[in-house]
Amino acid sequence: MSAALSALIMTAALIGAPLFTIILGGAALGFWSSGIDLMVLPIELYRLTENTLLMALPLFTFAGYMLSESKTADRLVRLSEAALGWLPGGMVLISLLACAFFTMLTGGSGVTIVALGALLVPALKQAGYTDKFAIGLVTTSGSMGLLLPPAIPLILYGIVAQQMNVADVNIQDLFLAGLIPALIMILSLWGYGLWSQRHQVIPLIPFNWRTVLKEANHSKWELGIPFIVVGGLLSGWLVISDIAAITALYVFIVEVFIYKDVSLSALPRIATEAMKMVGGILLILGVALAFTNLLVDLEMPAKVFEWIQANIDSRWAFLLCLNVGLLLLGAILDIFAALIIIVPLILPVALEYGIDPIHLGIIFVANMQIGYFTPPVGMNLFIASYRFKRSITELYRATIPMMFVLMFVVLLITYWPDMVLFLVR
């Protein structure tokens, strides 16, 4: 009977059944085979609702969707060009910062490519950069903001880790830990851009205080968002759910009543789209946590650790294997699904090797960032191919050099934990 059910679940996976049904089916089959009452599944879903961090997820997502519907991207690019156009490689840095800021706010890598691609690729080419470099940079930069607060992947990692009750993971600490690695990634790609385009004739834009102040005035309300998030984190007066609520209310007022980019009639549609994504994440999260409990009952993390310990000699070798595995995983799985499914397996093992859970979260998300544009099936590659009407092989050639630059940064993040944890400590 169990063999037939296993075959049914495998068949459903192969024909493209929703991910949550596959996980739920596997968990139900495992509990049933072990003689455990299946009421454990709805109980696990109910237990998830007791986590107060969950309030932050829909609020930040709603704020991000409102920003993606507005003209925020246009204003950010104009301000960045006025402020940084005088620097060597200024347009590269502008593109990186604009993409990182937009992804940080919206939480979606693909959304950034679609929203900013039409602005940044022509601007880079007009500034003198090659077509291949411009497309590669925007495709790569689409996931740059996933380590910056209020990054949804970091919130999700913290929720999963807290639900497991194996480590004390504070969301504020995750946000602080992601700042320096994100900055190093941005600066590394800027440096690569300066080197790779050194033979191109690229005129600089003269710095003009009046233009900067004019564009800053246009964007002043949206520039307040990072101050709300980071200020709330550093002050210690607000918890993450408070920050999420204030951010969502602030974005609502700014985009609907001040800029008037988003109409009141559009809000139900935006809220529906945002909550569809949140609902999908929560549904997968609930059934995945039930599946995690099954793995714990079967002592699977301990068995995985024993196998790894028998085959991998040191903590450093484990981290290297972890990076390779996460990089491959990021190319075939969405970051949210990967966080929910894989973190419960690797977190207990990483703790056995003495790896800080905050450090592990940054390693995880940094690898997933690169996985978005890792050949052959990274999600950003297909979105960019559709957006810029280029073949997927062109995208491979454009992004692979930048992928290697960021892989070096990930190794730095992995083997220099003090750099990651400096602000936390």
pLDDT tens digit sequence for 150-182: 777 888 888 888 777 667 788 888 888 989 999
Distance CA 168, CA 172 (A): 12
Residue 377 above 90 pLDDT? Answer: no
Q: According to the model, what pLDDT value does residue 187 have?
A: 92
User: Residue 304 pLDDT > 70, yes or no?
Assistant: no
CA distance 151 to 341: 19
Give CA–CA dist 69/326, Å, rounded: 32
Contact (CB, 8 A) for 285 and 259: no
Task: Over range 228-254, report the average pLDDT.
Answer: 81
Is the pLDDT at 98 greater than 90, yes or no? no
User: Which bin fits 370, alpha (ψ -120 to 50), beta or left (φ > 0)?
Assistant: alpha
Determine the pLDDT at residue 409: 92
Residue 71's Cβ-count burial label (10 Å; 0-12, 13-18, 19+) is: middle
Whether residue 115 has pLDDT greater than 70: no
Confidence class of residue 4 from pLDDT cuts 50, 70 and 90? low
- Whether 158 and 170 have beta carbons less than 8 Å apart is answered as yes
In the predicted model, what is the mean pLDDT of residues 40-49?
A: 69
Which residue has tokens 């502008």?
94
Under DSSP, is residue 87 helix (H, G, I), strand (E, B) or coil?
Answer: coil
> Considering the chain, what is the average pLDDT of its residues?
79
Q: Residue 302: is its pLDDT beyond 90?
A: no
d(CA 94, CA 76): 9
Asked if pLDDT for residue 188 goes beyond 90, the answer is: yes
CA distance 308 to 318: 8
pLDDT of 7: 64
Q: How many angstroms separate the CA atoms of 110 and 264, rounded?
A: 25
How far is Cα 359 from Cα 412, in angstroms, rounded to an integer? Answer: 12
pLDDT tier at 100, thresholds 50, 70, 90? confident
Please give the radius of gyration of the chain, using alpha carbons only, rounded to the nearest integer: 22
Q: What local confidence, expressed as pLDDT, does residue 116 receive? A: 73
In this prediction, residue 184 has a pLDDT band, given cuts at 50, 70 and 90, of very high
Least confident of 31-45, 95-109, 138-152: 31-45
pLDDT for residue 109 is more than 60: no
What pTM value is reported for the model? 0.77
- Cβ–Cβ < 8 Å for 286, 48: yes
What the block records as the tokens of 282 is: 């929560």
Q: What is the pLDDT of residue 16?
A: 58
Q: What is the pLDDT of residue 362?
A: 92
CA pair distance 176, 7, nearest whole angstrom:
45
CA neighbor of 66 nearest in space, from 257, 336, 282: 257
